[in-house]
Amino acid sequence: MNYNLNKYTGKEHKTSNYTAFRNLLQLITHEKKNLVVALLAILVNSTLNLLGPFLIGYTIDHYVQHKQYHGVLVFSGILLCMYLVALFTSFFQTKLMGGVGQRTLFTLRNAIFSKIQQLPVAFFNQNKAGDLISRVNNDTDKLNQFFSQSLMQFVGNIVTMIGAGVFLLIINYKIGIAALAPALLILVFTRILSPWIKRKNAANMKTVGGMSAEIQESLSNFKVIVAFNRRDYFRKRFNEANEKNYTTALGAGLANNIFLPFYAMCASIAQLLVLTGGIYLISQGEFSIGLLVSYLAYATYFYNPLRQLATLWANFQVAMAGWDRISEILALETDLVTVPAAAGHHTSSALLEFKNVHFGYPEGREILHNINLSLEKGKTYALVGPTGGGKTTTASLIARLYDPTQGTVLLNGKDIRGYDADERSMMIGFILQEPFLFTGTVKENILYGNPMYKDYSNEQLTEVIREANLEKLLAIFEEGLETKVASGGDGVSLGQKQLIAFMRAVLRKPDLLILDEATANIDTVTEQLLGEILGKLPASTTRVIIAHRLNTIENANEIFFVNSGEVARAGSLENAMEKLLHGVRMS
């Protein structure tokens, strides 16, 4: 399955605004109560604001023109109260929707993070960490901003606009129509430009992701960069990413603000039409000054929210572009699902078997062709072969980091896909070529993902370690179990990292233990010690050792030579050596 998220660009443009809006709303359906209260608050707010111009016009015609200042004072008081209540409702809905936005952000981030955790290794091969971080952090925040700041303003502005439009048409339908006509232009303009605005914002988010990916790559490889003095190269690459982001941000900024001057112009034209028409009607005795003041205010009340809607519409396009990027992740499903055991399930003396297995990485050539092999319980197997020959790939299929493109892998006679991830990872221990350690202590790292000793005290764990013959390895660490390990394993040597990974795998007591170049950075004496520990594993444990240093596999019961898409029995160590020296290389 192809997990490359950046292949999905363009798909989002097919979603209509209406569908996207409905999808966005579905994210907050569980907030129904808060939404209803916020909606009521915004309705009250808009209604109070809408009544203002009418009361002002009324006051002018009935009290100001007749110099009845008592009435003016009374209506001023009423207006003040109305504006205070409007202020309170506005504050209240802002608070409510702020909560809705933050909770949505919280839920979305959790959902994306746990989805990412469920996805298979192929997903991580095909996507850059920086881009994923940007999706989890930045894109979700765009939705938060939409829900907390824009959604209710959106509703409020629409209510105010409709209210103002109704007042304009009721007071005098001829001037009303003239006042509203320029809005049609806005409608057409908005419709035409919306897809373009969304595209501009999607492009901008993509470049933010690209920039994060550059930062992540250079930060995680800073040692290589310093050692090879490649700072300029990475500076240049970052500069390019930054420049792309700058260009797309300018484009998105322009797109997001392009409505504003056009809206302002339409609003001014409307005011001009109202003023001309109003003065003409006053001269004909059909209109009063108070009504004209109300009218001008309603025209403003119609066009101001419309102008704000332009910004809000742009926010909506930004949120939709963000949602597209987020939903691309949420829509992904792992193809490493647990499937019911196939009918062909048979009992077998072999712990693990490959039956006509083919495998290739997505969009790559086939790495393994029609492999058949069988690993017996309690035996030690070695995989040797040239660099890039396919040893790690074979081991990854044994541990089900990937599924074969054709054929079946059987574990204990049952399709390996029939085991759930917990069962499988307890049965198969994999010491990777590049062991990764987490920030914490040696203890936390060796107990990682191991429920058996989760609540053990240091004393109990030391006893377990002694029973597993690992105490000499632990003694290499100055502070034993409590030795601190920094993020990614900095602060401990590469060899020490491999020892921690070794202890982590052995303590899980797997049925099958895979060591992929697991001793490549370990001194000969310690390596012998590891050999002894491996020798003392329970008699039923099967070991698969990948090694370039052939002395480490002297004791293997069987040696497989992995190259050119084949996994062939090599027979003796000498044979394997001969193949290695004179064989045809794949890479």
Ligand X SMILES: Nc1ncnc2c1ncn2[C@@H]1O[C@H](COP(=O)(O)OP(=O)(O)OP(=O)(O)O)[C@@H](O)[C@H]1O
Chain residues that interact with ligand X, rule: CB under 6 A: 125, 361, 364, 367, 385, 387-393, 562, 587
Q: What is the 3-state secondary structure (H, E, C) of 233-249?
A: HHHHHHHHHHHHHHHHH
Residue 84 CA to residue 88 CA, distance in Å, equals 6
Shortest separation between residue 119's beta carbon and ligand X, angstroms: 14
CB 533 within 8 A of CB 506: yes
Residue with Cβ nearer ligand X (102 or 125) = 125
Nearest-angstrom CA–CA distance, 314 and 252: 9
Q: 241 or 367, CB closer to ligand X?
A: 367
Output the smallest distance, CB 369 to ligand X, in A: 13
CB 83 within 8 A of CB 315: no
Residues in the chain: 587
Q: How far is Cα 295 from Cα 307, in angstroms, rounded to an integer?
A: 18
Structure tokens at 515: 């060591």
Tell the smallest beta-carbon distance from residue 520 to ligand X (Å).
Answer: 10
Q: Which helix (H) or strand (E) holds 375?
A: strand 366-376
For ligand X, the closer CB: 325 or 579:
579
Tokens describing residue 62: 């009935």
Query: CA 73 to CA 79: how far, in whole Å?
Result: 10
Give me the least distance between CB of 243 and ligand X, in Å please. 29
Contact 394, 545 (CB under 8 A): no
Those residues with Cβ within 8 angstroms of residue 219's Cβ, 6 or more apart along the chain or in another chain: none
Q: Measure CA 566 to chain center.
A: 38
Smallest gap from Cβ 552 to ligand X, in A, equals: 14
Closer to ligand X by Cβ: residue 203 or 398:
398
Cβ closest to ligand X, residue 393 vs residue 519: 393
List 440's β-bridge partners, or say none. Answer: 485
Residue (10 or 388) nearer to ligand X, CB: 388
CA 180: distance to chain centroid?
Answer: 44
**Structure tokens given for 110:** 């959790």
CA dist 352 and 540 (Å) reads 13
Tokens (6 digits) for 419: 């085991």
Residue 188's CB is within 10 A of a number of other CB atoms, namely: 9
Query: In whole angstroms, how close is the CB of 544 to ligand X at the nearest point?
Result: 12
Select 160 or 392, whichever has its Cβ closest to ligand X. 392
Nearer to ligand X, 393 or 483 (CB): 393
* Shorter beta-carbon distance to ligand X: residue 385 or 510: 385
- Nearer to ligand X by C-beta: 163 or 429? 429
Classify residue 225 by burial, with Cβ atoms within 10 Å: 0-12, 13-18, 19+. Answer: middle
CB of 376 to ligand X, least distance (A): 23
Give the C-alpha separation, 389 to 517, whole Å: 14
Min separation Cβ 392 and ligand X, Å: 3
What is the nearest approach in angstroms of ligand X to the Cβ of residue 382?
13
Beta strands in 387-474 (DSSP E): 406-411, 414-415, 428-431, 440-441
Q: Are 52 and 79 in contact (CB under 8 A)?
A: yes
Shortest Å distance, C-beta 123 to ligand X: 11
Least Cβ distance, residue 427 to ligand X (angstroms): 22
Which residue's CB is nearer to ligand X, number 26 or number 387?
387
Distance, in Å, from the CA atom of 214 to the CA atom of 217, rounded to the nearest integer, reads 5
